[in-house]
Copies of this chain bind each other. A is one copy, B any other.
Amino acid sequence: MSSTRDIDALIDLMAKLPGLGPRSARRAVLHLIRKRALQMTPLADLMQNVAASARECVNCGNIGTADLCDICTSNKRANGQICVVEDVADLWAMERSGVFKGRYHVLGGTLSALDAVGPEDLRIPRLADRIGDEDITEIILALNATVDGQTTAHYIADQLEDRVTLTSLAQGVPIGGELDYLDDGTISAALNARKPI
């Protein structure tokens, strides 16, 4: 019931969110307290719901509410294409562009010798299994144009080139750029102009 302590604890937790620090967390909490009926309670309720229901899709790594995500269970998305992304944020960016009609595979990072991230840590074995399971004919590697992203793309291409057509996003991804920063038009252009690896 000691809400002064609760307020301090709330500020501390908010300050841990990416992009926020102590000062912006204090501002956000004050804002929420002022709008506690209209914004804070709905926000807390939604967070509670999402915390209880959100989970990673066991097939692709996307976030949904069941063991399999909406995209993996939709027959409309079974067009023989899988788009491989590093992160759910990248999947969201692709979906906002609205151009890609297939399914996804979220690696959850990139290969990194330094951080000891190997293929098993990135769902790469599962990606190979999906080729047969879901009659995949094309894998589009939509990884970030960073050194680690491109290393990972080459590794996946080496593993799978005998089994499917491998393509990568082409035009429009700037050197060193990250997908999630791109506007929807750039993503559309890059997808439409994709080229074989």
Q: Which residues of A contact B (CB under 8 A)?
A: 1-4, 6-7, 9-10, 13-14, 16-20, 23-24, 26-33, 36-37, 39-51, 53-54, 63-65, 70, 87-89, 92, 180-181
Contacts and interface: CB of A to CB of B under 8 A. Distances in A.
Given A32-B47, A37-B51, A48-B48, 4 more contacts: A3-B53, A3-B64, A18-B28, A19-B19
A120 to B, nearest CB: 19
Contacts of A23: 180-181
A175 B63 CA distance: 49
Given A10-B50, A40-B50, A64-B4, A27 B33 contact: no
Q: How many copies does the complex hold?
A: 2
Contact of A53 (B1, B45, B47): B1
Given A18-B24, A33-B54, A47 B10 contact: yes
Given A16-B39, A30-B89, A70-B4, A10 B46 contact: yes
Contact of A36 (B3, B31, B50): B50
B20 A42 contact: no
A28 B20 contact: yes
A70 B39 CA distance: 25
Q: Which of A13, A54, A92, A181 has the most CB of B within 10 A?
A: A54
Contact of A13 (B9, B39, B64, B89): B39
A38 to B, nearest CB: 10
Contacts of A41: 47-48, 51
A33 B45 CA distance: 14
Nearest to A11: B92
A54 B36 CA distance: 8
